[in-house]
């Protein structure tokens, strides 16, 4: 059974999932009173249908449900790469299960009976973090292998001298507990490298927990990292574990470490230096049983020189620095990456069996790929989705390489526009044209259209609303 969505969504549209209709109604009504729009469904199966139809900003789900439970629903949302933050509801006696859900990727949890202030704070935090986070690449640079080699060898593909050197450094680092700083351009696979370090380490059986340091403001990031005590701030109605707690026995990945503010830098320095922390509002020192891996694409040395980063934090991070090479420095690796990415992307897009001809792969290998592996993966995804044949040929690659830059040029400056039209109008018209084309190619499927455009589904819906594009 579903309930009506409010006409406006000032704070976001939330999907409530609970097989207990009374609980679902109460929670949905509470969310509406707090300024959210809410839709409720009675099962995980109904939730997946709803997620395919509308761009929800967050989902709140019970853990214990018949057929598909909350954890299975969480896994399916992640498998479909919907990008929706998931908050789980649990009883007080099942908090360890909720923490396990967070280790598996849930944004947060609340306990029954839930308090208005807590659900308000938790959902607001989850939606804020999700909206501030940059669009994530869907066909990520990670590839899965079936060999018994080291995870670093199987997850980081390429036989170039630059990639072999990076793998050797990562392998040595994985054997230790030392802090690793991953550096390199956007799209070079720093996220994959961090996961590979964890998988090849003595902590592989523990959780791998990622924190997007640049996606949250100071107050939220501090609470996200360290957790908080009851009463620490409005909405803190119970003690909550932070990401450092959740990563206990495993690896904490601090992505975007170059984007943290001076205030948080102080907290991170204490964490790295003392291997301990205080929860927000707490007075008890808590040991941090985690291994630290950080990543950035920024010039940290310049930041130190300009006073934007603490020098002592810089040296704490630079214990084992590893530079992930750009794709233009990995001569010959494009072909190997393409062969590994094609079957995975084919599976996730429902186009299994589609391949690239040797000539098409060779043509891809001649491109500079300034966006690195992420750009290569996105291009391959578009080639697979747009072809009507089982084999992508060189002509398809040529057309795609010409088409995408032309769209970018239109969106930046406009093409063949009346001389009196302003830049904003030109940009809007070019964006609307690109969206209409993508929707036509995807037969109206907005998820697929977003992939073709290289943006998230949420961004596409926002642009459809602001531009008045066809839907």
- pLDDT tens-place values along the chain, 471 residues long: 444 333 344 688 999 999 988 888 889 999 999 999 999 999 999 999 999 888 899 999 998 898 899 999 999 998 887 889 999 988 755 667 777 888 788 888 887 777 787 788 888 878 877 765 443 333 333 444 334 468 999 999 999 999 999 999 999 999 999 999 999 999 999 999 999 999 999 999 988 998 888 767 777 788 889 988 888 777 676 778 889 999 999 999 999 999 999 989 999 999 999 999 999 888 899 999 999 999 999 999 999 999 999 999 999 999 999 999 999 999 889 999 999 999 988 887 888 889 999 999 999 999 989 889 989 998 999 999 888 899 999 999 998 888 766 544 444 444 444 445 555 666 676 677 778 777 776 667 777 777 667 677 777 777 777 766 544
CA distances from 228 to 123, 235, 236, 378, 394 (A): 16, 11, 7, 39, 56
Q: How far apart are CA 119 and CA 28, in angstroms?
A: 11
| E strand or H helix at 294 | strand 291-296
Q: In terms of domains, do 344 and 321 share one?
A: no
Q: In terms of domains, do 118 and 249 share one?
A: no
Q: How far apart are CA 170 and CA 290, in angstroms?
A: 18
Is the distance from CB of 471 to CB of 435 less than 8 angstroms? no
Please report whether residue 361 resides in a domain: yes
- Of the residues 325, 345, 366, the one at which a domain ends: 325
Six token digits for residue 67: 């057929």
Is the distance from CB of 182 to CB of 298 less than 8 angstroms? no
Q: In terms of domains, do 157 and 299 share one?
A: yes
Q: In terms of domains, do 166 and 311 share one?
A: yes
Residue 404's contacts (CB-CB under 8 Å, 6 or more residues apart) are 379, 382
Is the distance from CB of 300 to CB of 308 less than 8 angstroms? no
CA distances from 286 to 240, 261, 313 (A): 13, 23, 20
Please report whether residue 144 resides in a domain: no
What are the residues facing 334 on neighbouring strands?
none
Q: How far apart are CA 81 and CA 349, in angstroms?
A: 11
Q: In terms of domains, do 195 and 231 share one?
A: yes
- Of the residues 290, 325, 360, the one at which a domain ends: 325
- CATH (domain of 22): 3.40.50.2300
Q: How far is CA 403 from the centre of its chain?
A: 27
SS3 60: strand
Q: How far apart are CA 280 and CA 124, in angstroms?
A: 18
pLDDT at 347: 83
Q: In terms of domains, do 128 and 24 share one?
A: yes
Q: What is the pTM of this model?
A: 0.70
Structural domain count, the chain: 3
Q: Which residue has the tokens 């391959």?
A: 380
Q: In terms of domains, do 307 and 170 share one?
A: yes
pLDDT at 229: 85
Q: In terms of domains, do 292 and 186 share one?
A: yes
Its sign, for the CA torsion 405, 411, 416, 419, is negative
Please report whether residue 142 resides in a domain: no
Please report whether residue 128 resides in a domain: yes
Q: How far apart are CA 14 and CA 232, in angstroms?
A: 26
Instruction: Determine the structural domain holding residue 333 and report its residue range.
Output: 328-467
pLDDT at 283: 87
- Of the residues 325, 348, 379, the one at which a domain ends: 325
Please report whether residue 163 resides in a domain: yes
Q: How far apart are CA 264 and CA 242, in angstroms?
A: 15
Q: In terms of domains, do 382 and 288 share one?
A: no
Is the distance from CB of 191 to CB of 140 less than 8 angstroms? yes
Rg from Cα positions in the chain = 23
> Which DSSP string do the residues of 355-371 spell out, in sequence order?
EE-HHHHHHHTTS--TT
Q: In terms of domains, do 336 and 233 share one?
A: no
Q: In terms of domains, do 181 and 319 share one?
A: yes
Q: How far apart are CA 408 and CA 431, in angstroms?
A: 9
Please report whether residue 137 resides in a domain: no
Please report whether residue 423 resides in a domain: yes
Its sign, for the CA torsion 41, 47, 51, 55, is positive
- List the one residue out of 51, 49, 2 whose CA is nearest residue 24: 2
Supply φ then ψ for residue 315, to 5 degrees: -70, -30
Please report whether residue 143 resides in a domain: no
Q: In terms of domains, do 100 and 196 share one?
A: no
């Amino acid at each position: 059974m579903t309930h009506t969505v409010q006409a406006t969504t000032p704070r976001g549209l939330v999907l409530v999932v609970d097989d207990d209709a009374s609980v679902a109604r109460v929670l949905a009504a509470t969310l509406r009173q707090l300024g959210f729009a809410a839709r409720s469904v009675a099962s995980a199966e109904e939730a997946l249908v709803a997620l395919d139809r509308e761009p929800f900003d967050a989902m709140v789900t019970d853990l214990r449900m018949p057929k598909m439970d909350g954890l299975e629903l969480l896994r399916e949302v992640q498998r479909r790469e919907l990008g929706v933050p998931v908050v789980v509801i649990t009883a007080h006696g099942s908090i360890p299960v909720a923490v396990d859900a967070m280790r598996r990727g849930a944004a947060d949890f609340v306990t029954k009976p839930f308090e208005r202030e807590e659900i308000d704070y938790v959902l607001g935090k989850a939606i804020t973090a999700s909206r501030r986070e940059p669009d994530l690449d869907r066909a990520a640079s990670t590839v899965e292998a079936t060999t018994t080699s080291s995870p670093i060898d199987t997850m980081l593909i390429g036989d170039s001298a630059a990639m072999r050197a990076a793998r050797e450094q990562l392998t040595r680092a994985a054997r230790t507990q030392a802090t690793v700083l991953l550096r390199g351009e956007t799209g070079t696979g720093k996220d994959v490298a961090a996961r590979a370090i964890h998988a090849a380490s003595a902590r592989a059986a523990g959780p791998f927990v990622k924190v997007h340091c640049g996606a949250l403001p100071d107050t939220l990031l501090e609470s996200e990292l360290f957790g908080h005590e009851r009463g620490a701030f409005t909405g803190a109605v119970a003690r909550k574990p932070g990401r450092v707690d959740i990563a206990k026995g495993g690896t904490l990945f601090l992505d975007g470490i170059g984007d943290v503010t001076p205030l948080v830098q102080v907290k991170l320095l204490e964490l790295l230096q003392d291997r301990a922390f205080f929860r927000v509002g707490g007075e008890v020192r808590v040991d941090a049983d985690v291994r630290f891996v950080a990543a950035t694409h920024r010039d940290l040395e310049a930041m130190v020189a300009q006073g934007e980063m603490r020098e002592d934090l810089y040296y704490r991070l630079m214990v084992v620095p590893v530079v992930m090479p750009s794709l233009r420095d990995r001569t010959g690796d494009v072909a190997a990456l393409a062969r590994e990415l094609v079957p995975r992307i084919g599976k996730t897009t429902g186009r299994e069996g589609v391949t690239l001809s040797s000539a098409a792969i060779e043509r891809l290998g001649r491109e500079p790929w300034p966006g690195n592996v992420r750009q290569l993966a996105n291009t391959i995804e578009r080639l697979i989705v747009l072809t009507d044949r089982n084999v992508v040929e060189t002509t398809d690659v040529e057309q795609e390489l010409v088409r995408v830059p032309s769209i970018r040029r239109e969106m930046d400056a406009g093409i063949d526009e009346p001389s009196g039209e302003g830049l904003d109008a030109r940009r809007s018209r070019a964006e609307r044209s690109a969206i209409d084309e993508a929707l036509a190619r995807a037969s109206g499927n907005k998820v697929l259209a977003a992939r073709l455009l290289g943006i998230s589904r949420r961004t596409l819906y926002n642009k459809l609303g602001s531009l008045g594009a066809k839907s």
